[in-house]
Structure 1
Amino acid sequence: MEFYRGRVRPWMYTWGARDEEIAAALPGDELVDPHTPTSTRAVTIDAPVEAVWPWLAQIGEDRGGFYSYSLLERAFRADVHNAGAVHPEWQDVHVGDTVWLARRYGDEARQVVAAVKPKSHLVLVSPDDFERLQRGEKAAGTWSFHLHRESGWTRLLVRGSGGAMGHAAFDIPHFVMEQKMMRGIRRRAQQLRSDDTAAFARSLGAQRAMAPNMA
């Protein structure tokens, strides 16, 4: 247990993140007590923010899924179908919207959008916490996603605060699913960028092929 607390848990809580990212104040932090246990994980995505945000905007069991391990998602009896394309009808996200984790379990498996700014961040809380926030109280926990530009690249940060954090029975499976989700978003965003680049190259090639005939 000491090895887990001293080595494994700190590694899971900061997977992929830089020291300055771990220490950074992010949107949504103000919604919880400052002493709440926190994890900050990160990946670099070889694509601009505009290619990453659509995948975040459409997360949810009844929408684009969570881009994680389908077998494990189904083991938890979640009806998740991880999207391989951006769906325009799922792109409008507003405070108060529901993001389902697993509808069959009711409110215990539902998140509510507490804050959102397109191409910047998405902050989720439990239904009970959303009600607390409406009363001017602090939330017990948050789950938030943040996009930071780095030249033509993007840093995706995922911060978890409070809730069931600190319990191995939650921390380990959550880490396994979340890091796969982050890598799933990265793969999709980079593929989208690659497809766009290929389409542009084909269009440019067609224009050049036509140029002699137009002279």
Structure 2
Amino acid sequence: MKKDNPRFTFAQILEGLEGVAIIIACYLTFFLKPLRARWGLSKEEAKRPLPGDGIIKSPKSKFTHAININAPTEYVWPWIAQIGQGKGGFYSYEALENLIGLQIYNSDVVLPKFQNPTIDDSVAFAPGDCTPIVICEPGHAMAIENSLDMDSNQKYDPKGPAPKNYLHLTWLWFVEAIDENHSRLISRNRVDYAPNIKNKLMFGPLTEPVVFAMDRKMCFGIKKRAELLYHDSHAK
């Protein structure tokens, strides 16, 4: 939710330091990048087709992360439905996000007005930076697609010709039942870009540690909130 100033509590500062430590560790263990790209999954599980894969058929960069959650899918979906800046946040390292002015504030409660996303809606990463939702299967899957001309910093139509220096990505949040009391959250990111050296560095070794740390924390953040919501609903 929108606030006038970033809130940096002691707990958030500690979390931010944890995030920095993980990022540094990833830079030092660049050779583990293939394992990080399928965190929480076996090789075969990471290859499993998921909604939205056909949008970018041959990504130059990708990851599929997963986490098991001790709660049914209906306790996980509300956190996915409200994801985004100006909504429920991304449940990641809030202090790190706000150090660069993204104005992201993580909600610890379900926000009713954001519980019905559609493909006419969008997910924001910063004020004024909205990415359209292109897949929405309530209770199950939501995906966004971004296509950007990186020279002009303007969006382009991904169905038409790509500009010379393009970025095209999708991000999927997918929740499935394991049994009646357990579920699994999958986060899949697929990226295509103009194959110049700058882009190969930017979307490879330079940002991979940051993306991994932030996405991993998001998975844990959703897990924590879903399990608490499930516990509270059964404690009443």
TM-score range relative to shorter protein: 0.7 to 0.9
Q: Distance in 1 between matches of 2:44 and 2:75?
A: 24
Q: Deviations over 1:160-204 (max 9, x none)?
A: 1015674222211111111001100000000000001101xxxxx
- Which is higher, the Rg of structure 1 or of structure 2? 1
Unaligned runs of 5+ in 2: 1-27, 149-154, 193-198
Contact 2:59 2:191 in 1 (8 A): no
User: In the alignment, is residue 190 of structure 1 matched against residue 218 of structure 2?
Assistant: no
Find 1:117's aligned residue among 126, 134, 137: 137
Find 1:141's aligned residue among 161, 165, 169: 169
Bigger mean CA offset, 152-161 vs 119-128: 119-128
Which residue is 2:88 aligned to? 64
Which residue is 2:41 aligned to? 17
Change (3 A) 1:110 1:168: farther
Find 1:162's aligned residue among 188, 191, 194: 191
Q: Distance in 2 between matches of 1:26 and 1:62?
A: 27
Contact 2:122 2:144 in 1 (8 A): no
Equivalent residue runs for 1:30-179 within 5 Å: 30-103=54-127, 106=128, 109-126=129-146, 128=148, 131-133=157-159, 140-151=168-179, 152-163=181-192, 166-179=203-216
Which residue is 2:152 aligned to? none
Unaligned runs of 5+ in 1: 200-215
Q: Distance in 1 between matches of 2:88 and 2:147?
A: 21
Greater per-residue strand proportion: 2
Change (3 A) 1:83 1:121: same
Contact 1:95 1:116 in 2 (8 A): yes
Q: Distance in 1 between matches of 2:95 and 2:51?
A: 32
Q: Distance in 1 between matches of 2:227 and 2:221?
A: 10
> Offset of 1:74 from its aligned partner?
0.7
Percent of aligned positions that are identical? 30
Greater per-residue helix proportion: 1
TM-score normalised over the length of structure 2: 0.74
Contact 1:110 1:127 in 2 (8 A): no
Change (3 A) 1:11 1:73: same
> Offset of 1:37 from its aligned partner?
3.0
Q: Distance in 2 between matches of 1:188 and 1:34?
A: 34
> Offset of 1:4 from its aligned partner?
5.0
Q: Deviations over 1:57-95 (max 9, x none)?
A: 001110000111111011121111100000111011111
TM-score normalised over the length of structure 1: 0.81
Which residue is 1:206 aligned to? none
